[in-house]
Structure 1
């Protein structure tokens, strides 16, 4: 029973929640890998030979990057723990809503960590003005692709997109996405 809530034609409410959860898990896999690599890099950075040469500003930026990476990691992995706690309890809608909020929060912290990491490295390599300018550009780039375009696109529907969506749904009946 496809509906205005995003269901596919012939899809039950339970199938929709299962599909939504499977889609969310796929997205989390990508984000988790990225944040884990960034977090690992940040954890090892103080032990590198150049770190003692950083100034007070760079150390503060490092702490912002490190702590926001830790928060991002927490939020992007939290849906796994929540799933374990709710496993086989018939609470998939609650799980999907919670996981969505955690993933969104995790991505926000990941953005902060990545932009802070760029600022840290560029400030170490370049003068402060160049580092700040480049970091503002990178931050705007992230915001454009992670926030602005998805938000604008939410209500922007092309006839071509609708046709592609219908074709996709018809080509894969019963397929688990």
Structure 2
């Protein structure tokens, strides 16, 4: 069956999987940079003098970055394992959900990291302010705005 775009269902699924994997490359770069930064911090002298709360925030950021890495790389692994089995639609459906969870973990990892930096440099009030600003920024830009953009698809 040919869709309104002129592609068959299989061609559309193939294109959608390719688009998903391309989008993951963008998100994965951010995760890698953040993860590298978080890993290097523990080897500094200042980290050893950090409070238990600051170390807990750091660990939370590391664990969120790990979760984000796992979630954002899962669709690529699934594609590699399952594409020959004709499971592109399943990869897309589950992969979309997993990527959204991965992006949420990435936003949280960045938020916790920025909040930690604000706490170390300026104190608890800055931690709260930074966390609120980051949460609102990511929430609005990544999750709210895409839902409220007008649909300009012809025929809808």
In the alignment, is residue 87 of structure 1 matched against residue 107 of structure 2?
Answer: no
Task: Determine which structure has more spread, i.e. the larger CA radius of gyration.
Answer: 1
Counterpart position of 2:96: 100
- Name stretches of at least 5 consecutive residues in structure 1 with no aligned partner: 3-7, 164-177
Counterpart position of 1:51: 47
Shift of 1:162: 4.4
Counterpart position of 1:24: 20
In the alignment, is residue 74 of structure 1 matched against residue 70 of structure 2?
Answer: yes
1:137-165 CA distances to partner (integer Å, 9 max, x unpaired)? Answer: 12111111011101222xx22xxx447xx
* Bigger Cα displacement from structure 2, 45-54 vs 62-71: 45-54
Distance 1:121 1:57 in 2: 12
Shift of 1:87: 3.1
SS class of match (1:50): helix
- Name stretches of at least 5 consecutive residues in structure 2 with no aligned partner: none
Counterpart position of 2:119: 123
Distance 2:88 2:126 in 1: 48
Shift of 1:43: 1.4
Counterpart position of 1:140: 136
List aligned pairs for 1:58-69, cutoff 5 A: 58-69=54-65
Counterpart position of 1:168: none
Alignment root-mean-square deviation, CA: 1.5
SS class of match (2:13): helix
Shift of 1:20: 0.8
- TM-score (structure 1 length as normaliser): 0.81
User: How many residues are matched?
Assistant: 153
Distance 1:30 1:117 in 2: 20
Shift of 1:70: 0.3
